[in-house]
Structure 1
């Protein structure tokens, strides 16, 4: 392996002696992020909290530009701008002045293991002892009920309040997941939250998922994170979704069916006996996992052939 330290450089925005923080959030835009959960959360944190750049990464070594071409602007007879991709490590401060780090940008196409080693070097140099990630996954749930979260961690003690939803499931790897695995193998703490996003909103912006993820991060890290603007955006987003649902009998029927399924499931959890009505008809963890694997297979097949949907309720 080539020297991992040659993948990054410290920037002058932040004095390295003051860049230390115990928590690092990782937001790398990986394979799937239903509801644009990760992107919304990241944009909110950078808008709501003071921040400086600690380090930048050499993306020319990490990206397949032809696989996901950056955008350029052409104006009449010349090129006028280029959306230069970036991968940056920020230092932010919470509302009480406590520092934390945010690693965000394009997920590497190449050199995953070397990139993991580089981030582990930075963790050691900057005093990070907990690494956290958040993203959205599509689930057969209604947006009108409380959102579920699947937690995963290098040590079960970090997620004692969360009950598993899945059994054993094979999913396509992401760089963030590999980082979590390698951190665990080296004895470091890392955890992640996969927020359950209604499948019909997977390709749209669903701010409630980002808000739920932000609350989970605040709860596990103790950071005092601003939520006001994101909560307001979630309220507006919720109202727009309600209008779209009311305007489509097909979508409305899907939502109502999911509400019945959700309510039956919750009733079964409250009355866990053989007489609990409808529980036997609910999918098992293995069945849920199989459905999720099928969804991911479809995404893999369609990923390169579809343009990005900028909003609205997805296909049902």
Structure 2
């Protein structure tokens, strides 16, 4: 690990910690993954203990720092960051390390080596990566979540599936594979976000990730705030959809498709990883065509 790139304010002593990660950017449709991770930081009263120096990993023209006013007087620069927090997981005898940040622009292998190095230093025995993709799903139904693992034993233990996705990937996929190479158990959870509201933060998809994570860890997570945000989100999107007949007809078609899938699945099982991977592939192809056909201002 390049110690100069990792800024450690303390080295916490943790109990069988699990590392939970989420990154803004390509892996974060509707900001669902980072909203979920940020929610855990707040709910579990997590303490920040380390961060990654962005200088070596970020293109500041692509991910620009921001200027804020400190108490309305002095100006302060806030740099894009990847920060580590630790917290006790309520209702369990283990702790969490939560990494919330931004997909780096450079040196992905060095970045993942740094993350895995810190994970090993604090005794992490399981890594859970959170992601969100844009798909043909309606905002009026629960957000589908799929879970995958690269370790067959972990697949069987947690009732997940082996990942069969092939195609472009982001830092989540690279980190997931780096864990496999390093012999560190890892799980990847992905929620699906309606592509027609891709720019709005999706508390519904964030909640779905938290619910699946709660099941995986066997730990209760208070969803009260996310429940309220989800209700407001659904109401606002429904109001916007109702103002456009074409969009409303399209959403109704998606609802019928979702209801049909649910009616054929015992207990309302969620779509498989393969189906969501196919959605991701389809979306990427559509985006590629759109970039070729549309002017830059119309790109998502």
- Calculate the TM-score normalised by the size of structure 2: 0.82
Are residues 205 and 298 of structure 1, via their aligned partners in 2, closer, same or farther at CA, if it must alter by over 3 Å?
A: farther
Structure 2 residue runs without a partner (length 5+): 267-274
1:34 to 29, 38, 43: 29
Equivalent position of 1:116 in the other structure: 112
1:9 to 7, 10, 18: 7
Tell me by how many angstroms 1:69 deviates: 1.8
Q: Does 1:91 align with 2:89?
A: no
Tell me by how many angstroms 1:72 deviates: 2.6
Correspondence 1:179-190 to 2 at 5 A: 179-190=175-186
Q: Relative to structure 2, which stretch is displaced further, 180-189 or 242-251?
A: 242-251
**1:21 touches 1:101 (CA, 8 Å); kept in 2?**
no
Equivalent position of 1:210 in the other structure: 206
Deviation digits for residues 20-50 of structure 1 (CA, Å, limit 9, x no counterpart): 5520101121414222101221232222221
State the secondary structure of the residue aligned to 1:226: coil
Q: Could you tell me how far apart the structure 2 residues matched to 1:4 and 1:299 are?
A: 40
Q: Could you tell me how far apart the structure 2 residues matched to 1:134 and 1:306 are?
A: 29
Are residues 21 and 145 of structure 1, via their aligned partners in 2, closer, same or farther at CA, if it must alter by over 3 Å?
A: same
Q: Could you tell me how far apart the structure 2 residues matched to 1:168 and 1:241 are?
A: 30
Q: Could you tell me how far apart the structure 1 residues matched to 2:74 and 2:291 are?
A: 33
Structure 1 residue runs without a partner (length 5+): 271-283, 310-316
Whose Rg is larger? 1
Q: Could you tell me how far apart the structure 1 residues matched to 2:9 and 2:264 are?
A: 54
State the secondary structure of the residue aligned to 1:142: coil
**1:88 touches 1:105 (CA, 8 Å); kept in 2?**
yes
- Calculate the TM-score normalised by the size of structure 1: 0.79
Tell me by how many angstroms 1:79 deviates: 8.2
Tell me by how many angstroms 1:67 deviates: 2.1
Deviation digits for residues 224-281 of structure 1 (CA, Å, limit 9, x no counterpart): 33322112211221222222222322221011111222233344556xxxxxxxxxxx
Equivalent position of 1:61 in the other structure: 56
Equivalent position of 1:50 in the other structure: 45
Q: Does 1:235 align with 2:226?
A: no
Q: How many residues align?
A: 286
